[in-house]
Amino acid sequence: MTTKIGRNDPCWCNSGRKYKTCHQAFDERIASYAARGHIVPTHDIIKNAKQVEKIKESCKINIAVLDYIEKNIHEGMNTAEIDKIVYDMTTDMGGIPAPLNYEGYPFSVCTSVNDQVCHGFPSEKVILKQGDIINVDCSTILNGYFSDSSRMFEIGEVSAEKKKLVEVTKECVELGLNEVKPWGFLGDMGQAVHDHAFANGYTVVREIGGHGVGLKFHEEPWVGYNSRRGQEMLLVPGMIFTIEPMVNMGKVDIYVDDENDWEVYTADGKPSAQWEIMVLVTEDGAEVLCW
Ligand code: MF3
Ligand code: CO
């Protein structure tokens, strides 16, 4: 049972303002969507301005680390070196790599090469070679606030078909982002991502999606891409979530390495690509916090 907030009580968002002049109309608007059967966000995933500022500080580290990797990644480098860069840079800037020890994950970053879909383990044995495509997925905790984003990198000259996969996957994220606005739906974004991948002959991994993020590593909502316009959670200002589709060149099926229970591969061995951005729903649209 929840206690109804009085109009003159302090608002739940900790603004210090009275409920009636702060989030009361907002809550009534959300309730009207819920009454029509929509999935709606709970207060605990709606960030206030102070929290957004803290989260943006965390994002700065994540962006700096990925910028550095972008400049320095090269043929002949092994992915354990990327792990060390992420650990050293993140901790030097006062942060903690969020993946490290997360549900037993043993590294600071995920490095997923070619047919690895996600959660690739950095390793001295994985030496980047000409023609590889790699996703580097970086997440940071700073003062208890989380950021999460990932980019694709091409090693030397890659084949035209891999290049196209990487490009189209990035376009999927951009088209999805264009759909993010207050009082829209998560499914507006999901369908845009899916339709563009599908139009290019690709498939979008179903089992693994994006997520709310900021106060925890993974919050509600779960963010899938096999959703339809007008469906899934209502989007309201203050929500933060990732858009991070994994797009397969071939079939949609994936499997998890049964020795480590983490690394995910395409079942057909064809390449997979992923870009991840972290998005804030604002009063009039969306702001990308991290990429
Ligand atoms: N950065 C990944 C994500 O987008 C994190 C996966 S969990 C980890 O959610 F333990 F592998 F980091
Ligand atoms: Co993520």
Q: Is residue 77 part of a domain?
A: yes
Residue 4 — very low, low, confident or very high, per pLDDT cuts 50/70/90?
Answer: confident
16 vs 110, residue with greater confidence: 110
- Digit-coded pLDDT (tens) for 248-272: 999 999 999 999 999 999 999 999 9
Ligand 1 within 6 A of CB of 244? yes
- Asked whether 263 lines ligand 1 (CB < 6 A), one says no
CA 80 to ligand 2 center in whole angstroms? 21
SS3 labels along the chain: CCCCCCCCCECCCCCCCEHHHCCHHHHHHHHHHHHCCCCCCCHHHECCHHHHHHHHHHHHHHHHHHHHHHHHCCCCCEHHHHHHHHHHHHHHCCCEECCCCHHHCCCCCEEEECCEEECCCCCCCCECCCCCEEEEEEEEEECCEEEEEEEEEECCCCCHHHHHHHHHHHHHHHHHHHCCCCCCEHHHHHHHHHHHHHHCCCEECCCCCEEECCCCCCEEEEECCCCCCCCCCECCCCEEEEECCEEECCCCCEEECCCCCCCEEECCCCCEEECEEEEEECCCCEEEEEC
If you compute the radius of gyration of the chain from its CA atoms, what whole number of angstroms results? 20
Confidence of residue 48 (pLDDT cuts 50, 70, 90): very high
* pLDDT digits 0-9 by tens, 154-194: 999 999 999 999 999 999 999 999 999 999 999 999 999 99
Assigned domain for 169 exists? yes
The answer to whether residue 3 is domain-embedded is no
Q: What is the largest CA-CA distance in the chain?
A: 64
> For ligand 1, is residue 99 a contact (CB within 6 Å)?
yes
Question: With a 6 A CB cut-off, is 187 part of the ligand 1 pocket?
Answer: no
Q: What is the pLDDT of residue 1?
A: 47
CA of 71 to the centre of ligand 1 (A): 23
What is the phi/psi pair of residue 86, to 5°? Answer: -65, -45
Mutation probe of ligand 1 site: the residue of 111, 119, 141 with most atoms within 8 A of C-beta: 119
Mean pLDDT of the region 57-85? 98
**172 CB within 6 A, ligand 1:** no
Would you say the CB of residue 139 lies under 6 angstroms from ligand 1? yes
CATH number at residue 186: 3.90.230.10
Evaluate whether residue 28 is within a structural domain: no
Q: How far apart are CA 203 and CA 195, in angstroms?
A: 10
**Total domains, the chain:** 1
- Mean pLDDT over each residue of the chain, to the nearest integer: 97
137 lines ligand 1 (CB under 6 A): yes
Token reading at 265: 């591969």
CA distance 183 to 33: 9
* Beta carbon of 97 within 6 Å of any ligand 1 atom: no
Position 2 pLDDT exceeds 70: no
Residue nearest to ligand 1 atom 7, measured at CA? 99
Question: Does residue 36 belong to any structural domain of this protein?
Answer: no
Instruction: Tell me the per-residue pLDDT of 109-164, one tens digit each, with 9 for 90 and over.
Output: 999 999 999 999 999 999 999 999 999 999 999 999 999 999 999 999 999 999 99
Please answer whether residues 243 and 197 qualify as being in contact, where contact means their C-beta atoms are separated by less than 8 angstroms: no
Task: Note whether residue 33 is domain-resident.
Answer: no
Q: Which atom of ligand 1 is nearest to the CA of 148?
A: 1
Quick check: is 8 in a domain?
no
Q: Which ligand is nearest to the CA of 262?
A: 1
For residue 262, give the ligand 1 atom closest to its CA.
11
Whether 119 is in the pocket of ligand 1, judged by its Cβ within 6 Å, is yes
Dist. CA 262 → ligand 1 center (Å): 10
Beta-carbon contacts of residue 59 (< 8 Å; ≥ 6 apart): 140, 147, 149, 278, 289, 290
Within 8 A by CB and 6+ apart from 217, the residues are 98, 102, 139, 141, 146, 148
Strand bridging mode 254-256 / 116-118? unpaired
Residue 3 confidence (pLDDT) above 80: no
Q: Which of 114, 118, 138 is nearest to 126 (CA)?
A: 114
Domain assignment present for residue 20? The answer is: no
What range defines the domain where residue 222 resides?
42-290
Tell me what percent of the residues of the chain surpass a pLDDT of 70.
99
Give CA–CA dist 117/24, Å, rounded. Answer: 43
- Please say whether the beta carbons of 243 and 176 come within 8 A: yes
pLDDT tens sequence across 193-226:
999 999 999 999 999 999 999 999 999 999 999 9
Nearest residue (by CA) to ligand 1, atom 8, is 99
What per-residue confidence (pLDDT) applies to 105? 98
Does 212 contact ligand 1 (Cβ within 6 A)? Answer: no
